[in-house]
């Protein structure tokens, strides 16, 4: 339900997602999520705040590239890194997101050794995504990457597809990484990796060498796909082979280069198609 100020026209609900910047409100919720993470790690670990401090030290030395000994104070204290960077005016917004992403990746890595941390990391990510959605921030954390994507259904499709076999997962993970590489995302190669995930699955099922023939051969393997549905995806495949886009060929004209919208669409569409085919295989 719209709030008073919105109902009576004093303010208008945002029609455009916040992207390419971080507002003060978003900075505050990110810091609050770090605060909750700190409390959760302290509550569940015998040695108080050691793990959170280890993360801060990692960010100090590997993100800010500062000297290790400068992290510690003369009387047993240490530098505050994560929330200080988020609130600082000295860093561009995307640098702050880089640090957030590095924090998530470090926590996942530690979670491989200390399984009890995984649940805390998931809660940390879930809270961040919830707050980002609440404040109309056009970014979400999917897996270990921060990406510009807003629909929960889109996120669910990608995450489900990332659970597939190694080849498919590798292609989709790389597509996600290339799409979220700031400030220089690689949309062309992200699309290439997305369609390669579908190709890997269809080749695995049919034994064909390329996606075009593999799509046509799915029926022979008992996977009946509606004609127009299959035709639509074949056209997406042909799009990736279009010499103008530079996806599988040298880019001839920069004006024809894919944008974020095309790369995001292809990642979601290819993830959904992978899930669709795998679903039909289990029926």
Q: Which of 186, 166, 158 is nearest to 267 (CA)?
A: 158
Structure tokens given for 177:
């990484």
- Segment 212-236 shows an average pLDDT of 84
Distance, CA of 193 to CA of 241 (rounded, Å) = 13
CA 172 to chain centre: 11
- Segment 232-260 shows an average pLDDT of 69
Q: Which of 118, 97, 127, 112 is nearest to 27 (CA)?
A: 97
Higher pLDDT pick, 272 / 253: 272
The predicted-structure confidence for 80-100, as pLDDT tens digits, reads as follows 999 999 999 999 999 999 999
pTM over 0.75: no
Contact 40, 123 (CB under 8 A): yes
The predicted-structure confidence for 4-63, as pLDDT tens digits, reads as follows 655 555 454 444 467 788 999 999 999 999 999 999 988 866 555 789 999 999 999 999
Distance, CA of 14 to CA of 267 (rounded, Å) = 26
- Segment 213-228 shows an average pLDDT of 86
Largest CA distance in the chain: 73
User: 175 pLDDT exceeds 90?
Assistant: no
């Amino acid at each position: 339900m719209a709030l008073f100020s919105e109902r009576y026209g004093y303010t208008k609900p945002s029609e455009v997602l916040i992207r390419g910047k971080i507002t003060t409100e978003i900075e505050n919720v990110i810091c609050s999520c770090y605060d909750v993470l700190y409390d959760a790690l302290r509550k569940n670990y015998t040695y108080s705040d050691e793990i959170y401090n280890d993360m801060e030290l990692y960010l100090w030395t590997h993100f800010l590239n500062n000297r290790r000994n400068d992290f510690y104070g003369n009387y047993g204290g240490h530098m505050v890194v994560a929330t200080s960077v988020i609130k600082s005016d000295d860093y561009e917004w995307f640098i702050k997101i880089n640090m957030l992403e590095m924090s998530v990746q470090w926590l996942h890595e530690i979670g491989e050794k200390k399984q009890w941390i995984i649940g805390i990391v998931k809660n940390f990510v879930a809270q961040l995504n919830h707050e980002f959605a609440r404040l109309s921030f056009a970014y979400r954390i999917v897996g270990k990457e921060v990406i510009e994507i807003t629909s929960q259904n889109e996120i669910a499709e990608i995450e489900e597809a990332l659970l597939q076999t190694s080849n498919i997962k590798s292609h989709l993970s790389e597509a996600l990484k290339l799409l979220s590489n700031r400030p220089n995302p690689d949309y062309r190669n992200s699309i290439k990796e997305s369609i390669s995930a579908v190709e890997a699955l269809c080749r695995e099922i049919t034994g064909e060498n390329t996606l075009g023939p593999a799509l046509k051969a799915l029926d022979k393997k008992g996977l009946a796909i509606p004609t127009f549905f299959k035709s639509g995806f074949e056209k997406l495949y042909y799009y990736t082979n279009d010499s103008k886009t530079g996806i599988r060929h040298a880019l001839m004209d920069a004006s024809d280069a894919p944008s974020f919208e095309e790369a995001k669409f292809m990642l979601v569409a290819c993830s959904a198609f992978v899930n669709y085919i795998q679903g039909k295989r289990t029926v």
